[in-house]
Structure 1
Amino acid sequence: MLTSRIAGRDWRPVVGMCDGYRYADFIAQSAELMRRYPTLCRKCIGHSVLGKSLDCFVIGNGPEQLHMNGAVHANEWITTPLLLRFMEELLECSIAQLSEEITCLLQRVTLWIVPMVNPDGVDLAQDGIGIAERDWRSCLLEWNGGRDDFTGWKANIRGVDLNDQFPAHWETERERRQVTGPASQDYSGAEPLSEPEARALAELTERVDFSRALSLHTQGREIYWNYRDHEPPQAEELADRMAAVSGYRAVKLSGSDAGYKDWFILKFRRPGFTVEAGEGKNPLPPEQFASIYEDLAPLLLEFIRG
């Protein structure tokens, strides 16, 4: 495991969390990671509805391109520091030459990570309507059913569920959801890729030739690897290996469309995965961060191995 290879050295991780994880935490920790690891490349791939930068980190210099993303759903914000910690430990193992395997992996692959796809939603789910301009607040309260508690909010700031936004039987998913306007979750939007966050992720994916992709969500300790029989044969085998090293369960899913993983498989016919990390009720508590990461890190490493 990555952590065990670092343990015993005078090393303190940059990435961690206390009472939650907001966009400001992401920006601060990202800046420190850039300072500590000069080889780390950071690219802006777009902006959220409220103008926050959608950042992608690129590590490795191999010919095979891989992708991971997190915090697509607002109250699944714990996925951002989980991905950042994994990235940090990969960098530390490589730069400090603690693992020949990881050094070789990062010479074979280039990993593109978008840790926080939905920064407006992440802040809204934790801090409520105070994060929005006044002209947004009445709408947000209405879309949240009149409640001022936004901890259950999954959508972006416009009430669109970003994981129902992708052009993979989008109409079928919209009909299944039966949510016709902005809401805390399950509203697919007026059309596919109407939201800047989903559009930025799709444009990145179309621009870079990813051989496989993984979207990190919570919760359930499950790995979804298929989509309407469009997935390649090796997808199930890789999902089984990811499950074996983590204790998660590889699940053949049906009755779900318009997610990032669905679109990636449908469009490119390559392995795509949705991983539901941890167990419990969203948002998962910060106290679970360490235990979730312990099981998740070997899963993510197996994904990179391919």
Structure 2
Amino acid sequence: MFSILLTADDVQASEKYVTVTAERLSIYENQNGQLVEMGHLLKGMEYGVIAESGNWLEIQYGDRRAYILKAATTSSDGKSIIKKSGNKKEVGAIEVTEDTTIYDNATGALIPFGVMKKGVSYPVINDLGNWLEVHVAGRIGYIHSSTTKKIFSPADRYFKVVRDNVPIYENRNGTLIEVGRVVKGMDYERVKDIGNWHQIDFGGRTAFVLKQATEPSAGKAVTWQGNVAGKYSLQAKEDATIYDNSTGKLVPFATVKKGISLNVTNMSGNWIETIVGNRKGYIYIGSVTFLPTDVVNPKTVYTYTQMQRDLTILEKMYGDFLEVHTIGQSVDGRHLYAVKLGKGKKEIFINGSHHAREYISTNLVMEKIDQYAYSYARGTKIGAYHTRTVLDDTAIWFVPMVNPDGVSLVQLGHKSAKRPQDVLKMNGGSTNFASWKANVRGVDLNKQYPANWNNLCCNARYPGPENYKGTKALSEPEAKALYDFTLKHNFRAAISYHSSGEILYWYFKQQGSQLQRDEKLARKISNTTGYSMVPKSASGTGGGYSDWFISTQKMPAFTPELSPYAGRQPVPLKNFDRIWKQNVTIGLMVASEMK
């Protein structure tokens, strides 16, 4: 199509006017050298003229130049035109769905002065509901909105769906595949205008909605989300509804088809959050499964809340071979989570964060769960170990955070505790809890186990940041939960991760064949990690989880200190890559060694 578009300076009151003398004066547009009728003007009415061109007069017709026959007009002064077309900004565009009368309303009465032909597209300068204001040949006119439909310009950001059950398509190698649906009456933001299609973000996918089923929208009906990257992905187990909750009420605004995957941006209880058309949407957790991917970010200050979220995702993602259990509660009521990974009848046990400031051990344990599960799902190896083979023979149980109250104190401060004034007092009034090891009652959980507990040395006299063993063994619910959990199982080995020193505790009064077996495995762990084996003469005097496990379960237990010595503070996160490289295979190695 060829047309001459008007500039801003053209769209203004003309200095030349004519009066139409024919009963019906056609308006033409020059489309590729051919005159195409776009409408007509009425006899006796005055109009503004832009220029003369031979036998033709050029007039302004919306955002273009159109033509009328000069012989069907006579020159006039334009005084009858009360409202002339000034330089008004366009607010949208329409297509005329039937031949439509254009009215003047300057006097308060509707006076016809022209007709737009069916199929003509036209810019609108004001939307008054039932009436649309337009520029026509130097004057302001009005057309009834019932005879039009809104159309899009490339600059339009939002659209409203105007039909039922409108599909969302994905373009797969030139073939349109339906991946979901949008809902009539709902607004969406588009990424770009592509011919007859809107391109939208559909949960991280590039998808398309047919323009013909939509109209332009101001986008005021929803709170727009902005660009949010998805951390992991879900797959719909059935055609699943996506709800808007911006008003506090669940309102359906899209569906995703069975088998289609979308990115997940967050979780809230039983609801999965994703983004569709730049709107935050929620899908019920029971209607989806999670696709295997990295979940845990171990290079961050890893909180109890983040651990809860990640465990929920991991269980949904790997439910065939990963289980999450609650084995007790902390003093402040936080759950103590145990994770079973694998299907084997034999079992080993790994735990972290007995000590609050040593929460890097939770980062390590959670990353093990994440990477071992991912490897199992994909059927790959980690180091020399085929993960699925190991975990089909031996299940690994993990308790990632034995001391969630203490970890929260170190990371979030005294206000994370139910009794903040009590922990402040135990901390000497300081709000800096970086050196805190104990639980929220000021008891060192790794001095709580009944292994030579009565004879422990080097104890603090009162509850506080570190080294207070409590009033009796297992006085603290966290230690008692781990104790009871262990007795319900027949673990072949245990690893209790601590954080600082790159050494390996392994000995607590073993003798004979038990000593030989445990020392052999300790040497293998030492050779893999590079951690020095602590001499028997310098080993612990009791009270620790590994001490108790060795003495009562008669099976090997190890306490690796993960990082180069960091002092009385959390291990720097920059050390995690080194820690991971040293320990990535340890769980699989110990599991494969225990016959």
- Would you call these one fold, judging by a TM-score over 0.5? yes
Q: Which residue of 2 aligns with 1:77?
A: 359
Rounded Cα–Cα distance in structure 1 between residues aligned with 2:520 and 2:337: 31
Q: Which residue of 1 aligns with 2:570?
A: 283
Per-residue CA shift, 1:251-282, capped at 9, x if unaligned? 23434310000000111111011111111313
Which amino acid counterpart does residue 182 of structure 1 have in structure 2?
A: P
Rounded Cα–Cα distance in structure 2 between residues aligned with 1:25 and 1:81: 11
> Residue 354 of structure 2 contacts residue 446 of structure 2 at CA under 8 Å; is this kept in 1?
yes
Provide the aligned length of Structure 1 versus Structure 2: 293
TM-fit CA distance, 1:28: 1.4
Q: Which residue of 2 aligns with 1:209?
A: 490
2:559 pairs, out of 249, 253, 274, with 274
Q: Which residue of 2 aligns with 1:170?
A: 453
Rounded Cα–Cα distance in structure 2 between residues aligned with 1:18 and 1:255: 31
Matches within 5 A, 1:199-238: 199-229=480-510, 231-238=514-521
Which amino acid counterpart does residue 379 of structure 2 have in structure 1?
A: Q
Is the counterpart of residue 90 in structure 1 residue 372 in structure 2? Answer: yes
Q: 1:72 to 1:93 in 2, by over 3 A?
A: same
SS in 2 for 1:177: coil
Rounded Cα–Cα distance in structure 2 between residues aligned with 1:67 and 1:178: 28
Percent identity reads 34
Rounded Cα–Cα distance in structure 2 between residues aligned with 1:51 and 1:44: 12
Rounded Cα–Cα distance in structure 1 between residues aligned with 2:293 and 2:564: 27
Matches within 5 A, 1:100-139: 101-133=386-418, 136-139=419-422
Is the counterpart of residue 56 in structure 1 residue 338 in structure 2? Answer: yes
Rounded Cα–Cα distance in structure 2 between residues aligned with 1:47 and 1:178: 25
Is the counterpart of residue 299 in structure 1 residue 580 in structure 2? Answer: no
Unaligned runs of 5+ in 2: 1-290
Q: Which residue of 1 aligns with 2:78?
A: none
1:27 pairs, out of 305, 308, 315, with 308
TM-fit CA distance, 1:291: 2.1
Rounded Cα–Cα distance in structure 2 between residues aligned with 1:178 and 1:245: 33
Rounded Cα–Cα distance in structure 2 between residues aligned with 1:12 and 1:289: 20
Rounded Cα–Cα distance in structure 2 between residues aligned with 1:147 and 1:245: 41
Q: Which residue of 2 aligns with 1:41?
A: 323
Q: 1:104 to 1:19 in 2, by over 3 A?
A: closer
Q: Which residue of 1 aligns with 2:523?
A: 240
Rounded Cα–Cα distance in structure 1 between residues aligned with 2:316 and 2:540: 45
Q: Which residue of 2 aligns with 1:142?
A: 425
> Residue 246 of structure 1 contacts residue 298 of structure 1 at CA under 8 Å; is this kept in 2?
no
TM-fit CA distance, 1:11: 7.6
Rounded Cα–Cα distance in structure 1 between residues aligned with 2:377 and 2:424: 48
Across the aligned residues of Structure 1 and Structure 2, the Cα RMSD in angstroms comes to 1.7
TM-score by length of 2: 0.48
> Residue 228 of structure 1 contacts residue 254 of structure 1 at CA under 8 Å; is this kept in 2?
no
Rounded Cα–Cα distance in structure 2 between residues aligned with 1:101 and 1:128: 42
Q: Which residue of 2 aligns with 1:5?
A: none
Rounded Cα–Cα distance in structure 2 between residues aligned with 1:87 and 1:157: 27
Which amino acid counterpart does residue 447 of structure 2 have in structure 1?
A: D
> Residue 510 of structure 2 contacts residue 551 of structure 2 at CA under 8 Å; is this kept in 1?
no
Rounded Cα–Cα distance in structure 1 between residues aligned with 2:551 and 2:574: 37
Q: Which residue of 1 aligns with 2:100?
A: none
TM-fit CA distance, 1:101: 2.2
**Structure with greater strand percent:** 2
Rounded Cα–Cα distance in structure 2 between residues aligned with 1:245 and 1:270: 20
TM-fit CA distance, 1:30: 1.2
> Residue 241 of structure 1 contacts residue 302 of structure 1 at CA under 8 Å; is this kept in 2?
no
Rounded Cα–Cα distance in structure 2 between residues aligned with 1:125 and 1:162: 15
Rounded Cα–Cα distance in structure 1 between residues aligned with 2:459 and 2:304: 31
SS in 2 for 1:233: helix
Q: Which residue of 1 aligns with 2:54?
A: none
Which amino acid counterpart does residue 28 of structure 1 have in structure 2?
A: R
Rounded Cα–Cα distance in structure 2 between residues aligned with 1:244 and 1:132: 41
Rounded Cα–Cα distance in structure 1 between residues aligned with 2:379 and 2:561: 31
Which amino acid counterpart does residue 425 of structure 2 have in structure 1?
A: E
> Residue 242 of structure 1 contacts residue 300 of structure 1 at CA under 8 Å; is this kept in 2?
no
TM-fit CA distance, 1:126: 1.3
Compare CA radii of gyration and give the structure with the larger one. Answer: 2
Rounded Cα–Cα distance in structure 1 between residues aligned with 2:435 and 2:559: 20
TM-fit CA distance, 1:294: 1.2
TM-fit CA distance, 1:229: 3.0
Which amino acid counterpart does residue 527 of structure 2 have in structure 1?
A: A
TM-fit CA distance, 1:191: 0.4
TM-fit CA distance, 1:289: 1.7
Rounded Cα–Cα distance in structure 2 between residues aligned with 1:177 and 1:250: 22
Q: Which runs of 4+ in 1 moved over 4 A?
A: none
TM-fit CA distance, 1:120: 0.5
Rounded Cα–Cα distance in structure 2 between residues aligned with 1:35 and 1:255: 40
Rounded Cα–Cα distance in structure 1 between residues aligned with 2:471 and 2:494: 26
Rounded Cα–Cα distance in structure 2 between residues aligned with 1:270 and 1:177: 27
